[in-house]
């Protein structure tokens, strides 16, 4: 109960101070600089234009472009792509949500794959608060925080950095190897009557289902 009260008070404090157009924050997290050369940036811009025309981002294997991520005194080669099904992630001229995967076993804050996005796409503090509550309850939670970010030298408003779900996530929370499940969004995009906006009608499927089906340990 004390832990819950602590995070509740802290959340209210942040809610009074966080602005989605804030350029800097008093944070121990070092800024992240993303550098994307012109040809690769043009690929992202083309993908964004396609998404704007149809109102949804359709993801493909060829969406990834090369980038260089600078953090503290390290420069790490990476692949990035646009993320987010709906336009709140990419309708702004410069403030796009990005999925990032670092080369090899390189990591930033212990994350090899993560998302960079405007806090508004995750309900401002709602997502941060959720993961703090999950963690305080001893449940599996993603790393989630706020950070300063620039893309090709342009300082953007404060972004959220969010860990991607990965196979080692249960181990980090002292769980054995197992299956992670998710609410499948197929019904939403097929516009099933009465189910399009409700997770109650969503199928529950394994995360990375194809890999799970090939893993004999998980299948048994």
pLDDT one-digit tens code per residue, 145-173? 999 999 999 999 999 999 998 777 877 88
What is the arrangement of strands in the sheet containing 65-71, beginning at the earlier edge strand? 144-147, 159-163, 113-117, 98-102, 74-82, 65-71, 32-35, 149-151, 154-155
Total structural domains within the chain = 2
| 157 occurs within a structural domain | yes
152 and 209 housed in the same domain: no
Indicate whether 196 and 124 sit together in one domain. Answer: no
Are both 204 and 115 inside the same structural domain?
Answer: no
122 in a structural domain:
yes
Task: Give pLDDT tens digits for 29-43.
Answer: 789 999 999 999 999
pTM: 0.80
pLDDT of the residue at 6: 53
Q: What is the pLDDT of residue 187?
A: 64
Residues 103, 25 within the same domain: yes
Bridging pattern class, strands 204-206 and 154-155: unpaired
Q: Is residue 72 part of a domain?
A: yes
State the pLDDT at residue 75.
Answer: 95
Neighbour-count burial for 59-91, b at 16+ CB within 10 Å, e otherwise: eeeebbbebebebeeeebebbbbbbbeeeebbe
Determine, yes or no, domain membership for 121: yes
The mean of the pLDDT values for the chain is: 83
Looking at the domain assignment, is residue 176 inside a domain? no
- Say if residue 125 is in the same domain as residue 200: no
Residue 9 has pLDDT above 60, yes or no: no
Q: What is the pLDDT of residue 95?
A: 95
Q: Which domain holds residue 128?
A: 2-166
Within a domain: residue 175? Answer: no
């Amino acid at each position: 109960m004390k832990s819950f009260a602590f995070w509740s008070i802290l959340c209210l404090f942040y809610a009074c101070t966080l602005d989605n157009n804030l350029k800097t924050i008093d944070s121990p997290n070092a800024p992240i600089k993303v550098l994307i050369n012109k040809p690769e940036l043009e690929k992202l811009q083309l993908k964004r234009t396609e998404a704007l025309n149809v109102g949804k981002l359709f993801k493909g294997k060829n969406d990834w472009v090369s980038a260089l991520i600078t953090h503290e005194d390290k420069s790490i080669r990476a692949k990035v792509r646009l993320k987010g099904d709906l336009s709140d992630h990419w309708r702004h001229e410069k403030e796009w949500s990005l999925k990032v995967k670092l080369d090899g076993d390189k990591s930033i804050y212990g994350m090899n794959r993560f998302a960079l996005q405007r806090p508004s796409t995750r309900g401002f503090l709602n997502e941060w608060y959720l993961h703090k509550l999950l963690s305080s309850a001893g449940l599996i939670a993603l790393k989630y925080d706020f950070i300063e970010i620039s893309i090709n030298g342009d300082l953007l408003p404060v972004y959220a950095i969010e860990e991607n779900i990965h196979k080692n996530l249960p181990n980090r929370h002292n769980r054995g190897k197992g299956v992670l499940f998710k609410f499948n969004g197929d019904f939403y995009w097929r516009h099933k009557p009465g189910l399009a906006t409700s997770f109650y009608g969503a199928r529950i499927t394994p995360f990375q289902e194809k890999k799970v089906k090939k893993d004999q340990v998980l299948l048994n």
